[in-house]
Amino acid sequence: MTATTIAVLTGLIFTAALLYASVGHAGASGYLAAMALFGIAPEVMKPTALVLNILVAAIATVKFYRAGCFSWSMFWPFALGSVPFAFIGGAISLPGYLYKPVVGAILLYAAYRLLTPSPAPSPGEPSKQIKNVPIGWALVLGISIGLLSGLTGVGGGIFLSPVLLFMDWAEARQTAGISAPFILLNSIAGLSGHFLSISTLPSAIPIWAVAAIAGGYIGADYGSRRFGNITIKRLLAAVLAIAGFKMLVF
C-alpha cells in the first residue's frame, strides 16, 4: 500500500466517521466502500471496518447519552436479540452477491422515505405519537440485524434506524442515541466472532484510527447537541444512500 493510498484513505475515513457519527452511526459501510475503491483484500476490510466502528461508536454512545438521547427500555430488546447473532455472523464468511443487491435496494428505499415529507395532519388531528416497542418484534428484528451485521462487517445502525423511525418507535435524535450503543455492541461481537482476522489488520490502522476518532468526535458533538431533527433525518438519508450504493456497486 503506497503512501498516497494511505493518505487518501485517511481522508475518506475521517469524512465517513464525521458524517455517520452525526446521526449516531459509526461509518463501517463508508470504510468498506473506501477500502473497496482501492482494492483492499476482503479479509482485511471486515476486521478493519469493525475496529474503526468500535472506536467511533464508543464516542457517539457517550455523546448522545450525555445529551439525553438514550432510552434503555427501547434499546435492550434489540440488543438482546442482536449481539449473539452478530457474533455468529462474524464467524461466518458468505459471498456478498447473495444479499448485497437486496440490502442495497432496501437502504436506498429507506433513504427515499426519509427524504419524502410526511403529510401534514389535518386541522384538529393530533400529531403523530411515538409508540411503544413490542418486545417480541424487537427481539426478532435484533436477531435479523445482528446476523446481517456480523456477516457484512457493519454495526447494524443502517438497518435499525429506519425501522425505529418508520414504525414511529422513536424520534430522530433518540434513534441516533439508541443506534450508537447498538452498533458498538454489535461491532464488538462481530469482531469477537471473527477474532482470528485481527492478525490481518493493515499497518496503517493506527493512522486510520486517529482519523476515525477525530471525525467521530466532531460528528457526534454536532449531531448530539446542535443539529435539529430535520437535519438529522437528512443526514441519515445520506448515510443510507451511501451505504445502499456501496452494497449495490462494490
Write the secondary structure of 82-95 as one string of H (helix), E (strand) and C (coil): HHHHHHHHHCCCCC
Distance, CA of 61 to CA of 109 (rounded, Å): 27
The answer to whether 197 touches 43, Cβ cutoff 8 Å, is: yes
Q: What is the pLDDT of residue 125?
A: 44
Instruction: Give 120 or 75, the one with higher predicted confidence.
Output: 75
Residue type, 212: A
Give tens-digit pLDDT for 4-35: 999 999 999 998 899 889 888 898 888 887 88
Whether the per-residue pLDDT at 119 is higher than 50: the answer is no
Asked if residue 170 lies in contact with residue 129, where contact means CB atoms within 8 angstroms, the answer is: no
pLDDT, position 126: 46
pLDDT (mean) for 208-228: 88
In this predicted model, which residue has the larger pLDDT, 48 or 228?
A: 48
Reported as a pLDDT band with limits 50, 70 and 90, residue 229 is low
Q: 160-189, pLDDT tens digit by residue?
A: 988 898 888 998 889 989 999 999 999 999
Q: What is the per-residue burial (b if ≥16 Cβ within 10 Å, else e) of 198-223?
A: eeeebebbeebbebbbbbbbbbbbbb
- For residue 148, give the C-alpha cell: 446481517
The pLDDT of residue 37 is 79
pLDDT of res. 88: 93
* φ and ψ of 134, to 5 deg: -70, 125
Tens-digit pLDDT profile for residues 29-58: 888 878 877 878 777 888 899 999 999 999
Question: What's the rounded Cα separation, in Å, for the pair 226 and 174?
Answer: 14
Kindly give, in sequence order, each residue whose CB lies less than 8 Å from that of residue 80, ignoring residues fewer than 6 positions away: 139, 142
Point out the least confidently predicted range of 88-102, 113-127, 230-244. 113-127
Residues near 169 by beta carbon (within 8 Å), at least 6 away in sequence: 74, 130, 131, 132, 133, 163
- Tell which wins on pLDDT, 196 or 74: 74
pLDDT the model gives residue 218: 93
